[in-house]
Structure 1
Amino acid sequence: MRPILFNGKFLTADPTGVHRVAEELIQALDRLLAPLDGGEGIPPTAVLAPTTARRHPVLSRTPVIAKGLLSTLAKGIAWEQFTLPWLARKGVLVSLCNLGPVLHPHAVTMIHDAQVYLTPRSYSKGFRLWYRFLQPLIGRTSRRILAVSHYSKEQLVLHGVAPADKITVIHNGCDHILACRPDHGFVAASGLQSGRYVLSLANTQAHKNIPILFEAFRDGRLGDLTLVLFGGASRDDFERLGARVPPNVRFVGRIDDEKVAALMIHARAFACPSTTEGFGLPPLEAMILGCPAIVAPCGALPEVCANAALTADPHDAGRWVEQIRALTDDAALAERMRAEGRKHAAAFTWENAARKLAQVLDIPIPEKRYSQPVQEKRRAAG
């Protein structure tokens, strides 16, 4: 029985959405396997990381092992392509962050999207060239490719990354946000009033399409509301790229999950105007917390959000104004979207994702039971 070894290179970098998926999926599989230790067909697990790892997930039966040469060379790329295959030579190597070693004979690799083909302007030239070179090689050499949506699977096939019969879809979970204790005081401390702002991401990538929200919030019909953006980009970053940022936009910077959860709970809506998404996790996080979502009907967003979110054309600022006003002025609509969003998003759990991953890895898992951790998460968010 081969051990299951996870590629921990993502632990060396500041956390991103892709890194979130990797950490949550590893933790969920760890929780599933912990009570089964010693059972037939239950393999040992470990996370292999460079010596430069800055974070260590909380795991009960999966050690994080930081070792190996080349950890500091080329931002860990040399470690991933040469050291990691050797360290993992006796196991099944699972990489969950778009890239992995080409040389491992028992590799399973998650590729989240085909954005380097669909929206090349969102990435630097070096990033695009590296991904376009390496991902098709990974698609050919990996034993299995994992995609996070059926839309992403279709795009990976279309762009020649991997054939359809080699790709398994594993949807993300969003219930991690329920484990947070929301920092409700952060809302008032930021000068915000509950229900009087719309939340979105501070991200300058072209496909995130945030400038359409700036255009919407220049409209006088939204003059009584604030657009709140969280994340790494600042007002200056957007303006350097030519965006006109209106005065009723507030940037709160990089914040922890507790503050994000509070902002979502108290927001009038979460806006996701992306022209493409491989999955679309933030709208689901908002929905499970009872925040109505407005999304562009693009990429995987219709698949992930279905009819539980309102939609608006990604290029029509007026339509974004209308949908935001509808949620602001129609209390019955807002309450219905809160209820539908919660119900829909509740189906996207990390336990479900881990069970699907276990199937791919041929790990026998007993029939699903309603888990105490999920109950505790729901009570914590209540």
Structure 2
Amino acid sequence: MRVGIDCRLPYYQIGGISQYTLFLIQALAQLDGDSEYRIYHSRKDSQDYTPADDRFWRRSLWTPCHHRLERWSLALELLPERLDVFHSPDFIPPAGGASRRIITVHDLNFHYFPEFLTAESRRYYNDQIAWAVQAADAISADSEHTRQDLIRLLAIPPAKVQTIHLSVNPVYQAPAIAADVAATLARLGLAPGFILFVGTMEPRKNIPTLLQAYALARADHGVRVPLVLVGRRGWLYEEIFATIEALKLREHVVHLDQFDNQSLAHLYHSAGLLALPSHYEGFGLPPLEAMNCGCPVVTSDRGSLPEIVGPAGPLLSPDDVDLWAETLARILADGAERERLIAAGRQQAARFSWTRAAEETRRLYQGL
């Protein structure tokens, strides 16, 4: 079997989908088998993401990601390759160019929160995704929640969609080196035990509710540790910083914009807990990263978060400020409860691995 995998996106942006693509390719290379894999890079990309394995070949493409004519241009480029399967990890498959096409759908943010997209992005997602899910021969979804969304909202036959859970960057699974963790904290002026949030500064992350709960936890429950927000500024982030000012939290909230994986792992290892009150997550990598690092997790009960966290942490309504404040304070103050959540989190995190994701993805290829 000759399988093509679209690996153009890492040239344009290194985000969650790019990391998913790269780690999946690496995991596929660790499996036995005689399938041939062609890894399609952007022609502009000098990086080589192709494993050093005789079954894997680098190919280059002219077609840019997210171009309005992408599906047709890509099909023409792929036609001479004679592919049995082409996998599009970034939603959109070519209009042809392979006997079978698989796409991965990571979430349906564009459906739930169209108001947070530009008009151009709305047109792109509404037109392209609606076409893509119908054109694909099979779909992998990052979570069962996203799979059910596809079935319910886009009328996709259940047999066409398979849930394949992701895993995390291996840096979050490595043991912490105490001296390195201490050096990161010293550089940032932090002490262990802080409340941590990780995610883009945007409305669906529901950060104002977290800020209100944090202010209440300080006022009514004696919490004195800082709140550390890690993430870039996204759409409509201004309300977040206005809320910090309105609640007089400027001296108690730390915002860290761009952050490398190793330093973030150090924060997970030293945080008192991770708090994620999102209105919606298609998968939710930060809770899984945190659980791997031995950081207790408190999340909302929306989207895929209950599926990812399972029994390893409190699942709260994202709108209940009082409950969030009480829960944050209780976990920070109760050492035995923290240890219980840490142990449960590590056990839950062990259910997710790139090896398992690669095995299930390969079966999806072979089943077409």
TM-score by length of 1: 0.85
> Which residue of structure 1 lines up, in the alignment, with residue 134 of structure 2?
140
Change (3 A) 1:133 1:155: same
Alignment of 1:56-205 (within 5 A): 56-57=48-49, 59-61=51-53, 63=56, 65=58, 67-71=60-64, 77=67, 80-89=70-79, 90-91=82-83, 92-104=85-97, 105-160=99-154, 162-174=156-168, 176=170, 177-179=172-174, 183-184=180-181, 185-195=183-193, 197-205=194-202
Matched, 1:330 2:334: yes
Gap regions ≥5 residues in structure 1: 37-41, 364-382
Secondary structure in structure 2 of the residue aligned to 1:98 = coil
Secondary structure in structure 2 of the residue aligned to 1:307 = helix
Task: Confirm or deny: 8 A CA contact 1:69 1:79 kept in the other structure.
Answer: no
Task: Confirm or deny: 8 A CA contact 2:202 2:236 kept in the other structure.
Answer: no
Alignment of 1:1-382 (within 5 A): 1=1, 3-33=2-32, 36=33, 42-53=34-45, 55-57=47-49, 59-61=51-53, 63=56, 65=58, 67-71=60-64, 77=67, 80-89=70-79, 90-91=82-83, 92-104=85-97, 105-160=99-154, 162-174=156-168, 176=170, 177-179=172-174, 183-184=180-181, 185-195=183-193, 197-219=194-216, 220=219, 221=221, 223-233=223-233, 238-239=237-238, 243-245=242-244, 246-247=249-250, 248-362=252-366
Secondary structure in structure 1 of the residue aligned to 2:139 = strand
Q: Report the CA distance between 1:350 and its aligned residue.
A: 0.6
Q: Report the CA distance between 1:56 and its aligned residue.
A: 3.6
Change (3 A) 1:227 1:161: farther
Secondary structure in structure 2 of the residue aligned to 1:327 = helix
Secondary structure in structure 2 of the residue aligned to 1:250 = strand
CA distance in 2, matches of 1:259, 1:300: 26
Gap regions ≥5 residues in structure 2: none
Task: Confirm or deny: 8 A CA contact 2:202 2:233 kept in the other structure.
Answer: no
User: Residue 173 of structure 2 aligns to which amino acid in structure 1?
Assistant: L
Q: Report the CA distance between 1:179 and its aligned residue.
A: 4.5
Which stretch shows the higher mean deviation, 78-87 or 259-268? 78-87
Change (3 A) 1:161 1:253: farther
| Number of equivalenced pairs | 350
Task: Confirm or deny: 8 A CA contact 1:208 1:275 kept in the other structure.
Answer: yes
Q: Report the CA distance between 1:165 and its aligned residue.
A: 1.6
Task: Confirm or deny: 8 A CA contact 1:297 1:312 kept in the other structure.
Answer: yes
Which stretch shows the higher mean deviation, 53-62 or 87-96? 53-62
Q: Report the CA distance between 1:81 and its aligned residue.
A: 2.1
Q: Report the CA distance between 1:311 and its aligned residue.
A: 1.9
Task: Confirm or deny: 8 A CA contact 1:50 1:79 kept in the other structure.
Answer: no
Task: Confirm or deny: 8 A CA contact 2:5 2:88 kept in the other structure.
Answer: yes
Task: Confirm or deny: 8 A CA contact 1:113 1:156 kept in the other structure.
Answer: no
Q: Report the CA distance between 1:63 and its aligned residue.
A: 4.9
- Which deviations, in whole Å up to 9, do the C-alpha atoms of 1:4-57 show, x marking residues without a partner? 111112122221122222221111111224xx4xxxxx2111211222336543
